Amino acid sequence: MKKLIALLLICVLCLSVFASCSSKKDEPEPDTKAVTQVDSGVQDSETKEEESTEPEETGQMTLYYSHSTEWADPIIEEFMETTGIKVELVQGGTSDLVAKIRAEGDNPQADVLWGGVVDTYYAAKDLLQPYESKEIAYLKEVAIDEERYYHGFDLGPMVMIYNTKLVSKEEAPTKWADLLDPKWKGKIACADPTSSSSSYATIMAIIHAYGKDDGKGYEFVEKLVKNLDGKILSSSSGTYKGVADGEYLIGMTYEEAALRYKSAGADIEIVYPEEGTTASPSGVGIVKNCKNLASARKFVDFILSKEVQSQLGAIYRRTVRKDVEDPDTMTPFSEIAFVDYDMKWSAEHEAEFKDKWRSFVTEN
């Protein structure tokens, strides 16, 4: 674990150099650890099993993940060294990875999906299988699915950011409503919420803040789309990079990315909206009918372990464990306003929301 700490700190230092240069480069692609797929012959989705039906140890697994490679890959490397399990990596956007798993049908190539808010996992339970982690007794309630189809990995509020060289503190937005000000038209960095899970969580926070049941939330979103002026980014990384580079004056993103860039020297400041935001955990889940179930379970337990969770603060992420404290450098949750977030409603209205969003974009 000491090696993991060192690797994560190196990542932070590398990001400092990165921020001092142009931040327009795409997120680096991971070095794929190629392995030969072996079917374990075990397709058991029960949470608790008899010893005679324990899944076969295959010594390998395939991981679909949407997290940034800079900090996620060191954790994966440590998992491989600790367990001896070889991991094949497939990195991409959360929505794209879920679509890939769905397209693979009864012959899934992934064993674990890691990354993206748990709202996505809730809506995709038909693609996952239940597993109760050995670490569950130490997890906060928000990180536990009642049916155990997924676990939360970390916590992070959705935030707004602005470029401090181009926007003064006095004129910077303080609430979601400020995004509708005409002075920001075409200058707001926003990722496509139909493909970015963090952007989806952000827009859902806005809908909850302004009215999810009376249509007022959608009215706000329609006005927001109009103020984006056709500028919608294809990935979440484009939001914080675009604001840091000065391509956009303000943006909507997730706390970890904002903290990471700010700490690395980027000219950005973070705003927690006055009306309230969400802090849905990012998730991890085991794919239904996966080929390497034993390895998949070990990976879930590993990333939820106290050893790994204790290091999340160093990479600007908040722990889901009750026995681990977040760094003092982070704004306490008690000082952040949160909406009364209904994840079930969000999951049940995901298709409706995406249709409305596309309609708003087409009309504006």
Q: CATH no. for residue 171?
A: 3.40.190.10
Mean pLDDT of 174-195: 97
Q: How sure is the predictor about 9, in pLDDT bands with cuts at 50, 70 and 90?
A: low
How many C-beta neighbours within 10 Å does residue 68 have?
A: 20
Same domain? For 98 and 137 the reply is yes
Same domain? For 313 and 257 the reply is no
Percentage of the chain with pLDDT > 70? 86
- Domain residue limits at 201: 158-278+334-363
pLDDT for residue 40: 35
- The answer to whether the predicted template modeling score (pTM) of the entire model surpasses 0.85 is no
Same domain? For 106 and 178 the reply is no
Q: Is residue 326 part of a domain?
A: no
Q: Is residue 324 part of a domain?
A: no
Q: How sure is the predictor about 93, in pLDDT bands with cuts at 50, 70 and 90?
A: confident
pLDDT for residue 65: 98
Same domain? For 83 and 191 the reply is no
Q: How sure is the predictor about 6, in pLDDT bands with cuts at 50, 70 and 90?
A: low
pLDDT for residue 280: 86
On the question of pLDDT at 203 being above 50, the answer is yes
Q: Is residue 359 part of a domain?
A: yes
Same domain? For 69 and 102 the reply is yes
What contacts 137, CB < 8 A, 6 or more positions away?
none
Mean pLDDT of 262-270: 96
Same domain? For 304 and 287 the reply is yes
Per the prediction, the chain carries an average pLDDT of 88
Number of domains in the chain: 2
Same domain? For 164 and 259 the reply is yes
Same domain? For 73 and 113 the reply is yes
Comparing CA positions, the residue from 238, 208, 240, 235 lying closest to residue 221 is 208
How far apart CA 115 and CA 176 sit, in angstroms, is 25
How far apart CA 206 and CA 204 sit, in angstroms, is 5
What contacts 141, CB < 8 A, 6 or more positions away?
none
Q: What is the pLDDT of residues 135-170, one digit of tens each?
A: 999 999 999 999 999 999 999 999 999 999 999 999
Same domain? For 352 and 246 the reply is yes
Q: What is the pLDDT of residues 306-325, one digit of tens each?
A: 999 999 999 999 999 999 99
Lowest-pLDDT choice from 60-64, 216-220, 312-316: 312-316
pLDDT for residue 333: 92
Mean pLDDT of 172-181: 98
Q: Is residue 328 part of a domain?
A: no
On the question of pLDDT at 39 being above 70, the answer is no
- Buried/exposed code over 13-37 (b: 16+ C-beta within 10 A; e: otherwise): eebeebbeeebeeeeeebeeeebee
Mean pLDDT of 173-180: 98
Q: What is the pLDDT of residues 94-112, one digit of tens each?
A: 889 999 999 999 999 999 9
